[in-house]
Amino acid sequence: MPDISAGDHKAYMRLALEQAQKSPPKPTNYRVGAVLVDSAANEILATGYTLELPGNTHAEQCCFMKLAQKHGVAEEDLKEVLPPELALYTTVEPCSKRLSGNLPCVERVLRLTESIRTVYVGTMEPETFVTENTGKKSLQSAGISVVHVEGLEKEILDVATAGHTKG
């Protein structure tokens, strides 16, 4: 894992973007990367990217699944083993609806409100697949800060939409 200075949100977002680039381009999803950080210790706990794990998985979901496996707990029980000051970096706003029927990433984050204090996003979700993503609003309503890390939007969208039909 790279050595990133505490509070260097752009560097963490770049790491999330590197994760997103590992995701296979497909016309039916965004290529997203995520990084979960223990803010107090400035330690990366998990990384993930779209389709990293089987089952039409999203980046945030992969972070949580890998961390649950590492701690030997079910994903829904992660809150019992996580430190209290986590930050989630994700290249695209967490989804509020999954067309696949999987649990939306926002709901996965909301299960961890005792730990995740801030979600840093590189760009808000384009309305290609789900219009009116309510992810940001849902997180903020639960007391989780949502912070836009500016400056990488074009790169993030280029990676996220690779494989999509332009037109």
pLDDT of residue 27: 83
pLDDT digits (tens, 9 = 90+) for 87-111: 999 999 998 887 777 899 999 999 9
Catalytic residues: 60
CATH number of the domain residue 67 falls in: 3.40.140.10
pLDDT of residue 133: 67
Position of tokens 């219009």?
Answer: 131
State the Cα angle at 107 between 104 and 112, rounded to 5°. Answer: 135
pLDDT digits (tens, 9 = 90+) for 33-65: 999 999 999 999 999 999 999 988 999 999 999
Q: Strand 43-49 relative to strand 86-92: parallel, antiparallel, unpaired?
A: unpaired
Q: Which residues contact 67 (CB under 8 A, 6 or more apart)?
A: 36, 45, 46, 78, 82
**For residues 5 and 44, what is the distance between their CA atoms, to the nearest angstrom?**
11
Range of the domain at 85: 9-160
Residue 165 lies in a domain: no
Residue 3 lies in a domain: no
Rounded to two decimals, the pTM is 0.93
